[in-house]
Structure 1
């Protein structure tokens, strides 16, 4: 057993930093030393109650690190390998996995917050189980995960950048290249310019979309959106986005919502040109409902596309995105505005809730 500390969430008590123990890897599992972990809105959804849980959790699901130990039957990884952790570990056995749609895996246990065998590698100071959020639980210094959740990347990929590949970048770029399959020359709107929304913008630039319109309440985020490829930015408080795209473009080919706000989602069909597609990238609270005009969708041939994890197969898309980063095509370091020790996790979550800043990276042990 390894003694360390972790940032946890306990129902009824909230988040805190507490001592934990991590057991060795079992069959098909690896132990990974976490070098960097991102703070994502999905972590905030747990803390603020949008996604209720009955289990005490080790938070965190977006991380990179170094393999320290492998369990029996691990064939593709070895100690010393640099890896990005993928929160949606596929079973590789179900119909969707067999069809190459790992993001729709029906056999994963990630959403149950367990390892594939139903167990947890974590226990608290009293020997009671703590459960890995989304099967990972990366707000700590060491984790035990299934081999299918650890994706090997080159050692020249910085750990801070690798952490973002575990969720936000793969989701945002994948929404463009996989879910929507945006053709070059398509027009697009992106609503919400946090880490995922900015990744969508980078994906649109890669795809050759034009124009790329970005909308956000934050001037700093709009400025960053322009730096990363947006051709125009809009403050929704002073510009009616639907009127603008209708008058200037006759609607857009693609509208991406990267906030997870049900009221904003309702506005997407009104932004689209005939035949256009709205892409739901942001995750709403559980039970949220949005109203749409079905006649407009049918009459104008508009579509609404759900996007889970950028419709990505982690072991294909994460190495590809890392190569694009190394080639200078994805300036992912531009998404990071704060690097801080794990003990500052609460501050990072508070800033995320306030909508300030871009992506915060936590470093276990303060490296």
Structure 2
């Protein structure tokens, strides 16, 4: 079928909306008509070249939700008309990480930036006869997608799809970075550095887990204000500004966990976080950096003798099939706020404006919303 999509034709270029050809689902795949797509910083990393892709053009977007319109052979548990969330990490259920309960590290994730479909290694999206890389094999910057069932999570029909879309990446990643990887316990002190679409949910997760102090760090005043509304007990403009108060409020113990969710994470961010971490505590690195960067500043004396840890995190350390339904139940009960996360909605044609707003700190999460004129 023909549809439109926001395409990236090379690093450093703007998104361009153009017509694409989308293939029908083959064995193990479904086609989904999307209601919405989040604007995540990870797509900006592809635009700048900080994250590598096999080739260009790329259809961006990896945070989406919608309704299943076609079902290919050998698909189980999903039918036409089902409401679904697309998870940017597939879960095949059979590889070694999946078998060990680590579906967020599924081996199928190795191909997310290749454009080659999980089912058969071919390309489901083309532009002017040439193959296209759908971001995370999803490409939600298009009103229709054809995706593998390993990336599809069925949800209940009454959940608003524009809110549910956020669970495909930002909400699940941020919440789990605090509750699962971060292992926040009642009475803990948690610092979250970087209050965007991921970090704001680390704030929510830490607060829900019972942390006594949840400290938000961001240079943008608007984001600090939103963090205080959604569970933070304190907010500071920089790590340097937060260091003294965190030490004082914890009687010299410092934070059990410091979560780095900065949009452009660098090696320079590690040591300030480590210095604010308590003995035996951990720094959780959730924010992404440039794929070629291998230098990080860490005081090895402090790391060893104070038994601190530096821990990476993807999708919050939890299987999408576990996390997304669980978080939607918390949304139903009012514990997880989703409506409040959406700052601005955009048409697909306004995608460059949406990303400029993100870079200028105007949004917690911008969302592209599709309607009948897009289908």
TM bracket, shorter-chain basis: over 0.9
**Equivalent of 1:188 in 168, 187, 190:** 190
Q: 1:57 matched to which residue of 2? A: 58
Range with bigger deviation, 307-316 or 28-37: 307-316
Aligned to 1:252: 255
Q: Which residues in structure 2 correspond to 1:194-213 (within 5 Å)?
A: 194-213=196-215
Show the counterpart of 1:85.
Answer: 86
Between 1:49-58 and 1:180-189, the stretch displaced more is 49-58
Match of 2:333 in 1: 327
Partner of 1:122: 125
Once residues 287 and 354 of structure 1 are traced to their aligned partners in structure 2, the CA distance between those partners, rounded to angstroms, is: 25
Partner of 1:228: 230
The whole-number CA distance in structure 2 between the counterparts of 1:14 and 1:214 is 31
1:66 to 2:67 alignment: yes
Tell me, in whole angstroms, the C-alpha distance in 2 between the residues paired with 1:115 and 1:355: 35
Q: Secondary structure of 2:136's match? A: helix
1:6 aligns with 2:9: no
Q: What is the CA-CA distance between 1:14 and the residue it aligns to?
A: 4.5
| Residue in structure 1 matching 2:160, options 130, 149, 158 | 158
| Residue 283 (str. 1) matches residue 288 (str. 2) | yes
Indicate conservation of the 8 Å contact 1:45/1:51, yes or no.
yes
- Kindly indicate whether the alpha-carbon contact (under 8 Å) linking 1:38 and 1:163 is maintained by their aligned counterparts in 2: yes
Please state whether the residue corresponding to 1:61 is helix, strand or coil: coil
State the match for 1:173 in structure 2: 175
1:287 Cα deviation from its structure 2 partner: 2.0
Provide, for residues 161-198 of structure 1, a one-character-per-residue CA deviation record: whole Å limited to 9, x for no partner: 11100000000011122212211111111111111110
Task: Show CA shifts across 1:296-321 (max 9, x none).
Answer: 01111111111111112011110111
Where do 4+ consecutive residues of structure 1 move more than 4 Å?
none
Gaps of 5+ in 2: none
Distance 2:191 2:367 in 1: 27
Farther off after superposition, 163-172 or 356-365:
356-365
Residue 261 (str. 1) matches residue 270 (str. 2): no
Q: Distance in 2 between matches of 1:321 and 1:349?
A: 26
- Alpha-carbon separation, structure 1, partners of 2:108 and 2:344: 36
The answer to whether residue 363 in structure 2 is matched with residue 361 in structure 1 is no
TM-score by length of 2: 0.93
What residue is the counterpart of 1:148 in the other structure?
150
Matches of 2:367 and 2:14 in 1, distance apart? Answer: 21
Partner of 2:347: 341
Q: Which runs of 5+ in 1 are unaligned?
A: none
Distance apart, 1:82 and its partner CA: 0.4
Number of residue equivalences: 364
Superposed displacement of residue 350, structure 1: 1.5
In 2: Cα distance, 1:194 partner to 1:275 partner = 27
* Cα distance in 2 between the residues matched to 1:133 and 1:159: 20
Residue by residue over 1:56-102, the C-alpha shift from the partner in whole angstroms, topping out at 9 and shown as x without a partner, is 11110000000001000111100110000011112322211111101
- Partner Cα separation in structure 1 for residue 333 and residue 147 of structure 2: 30
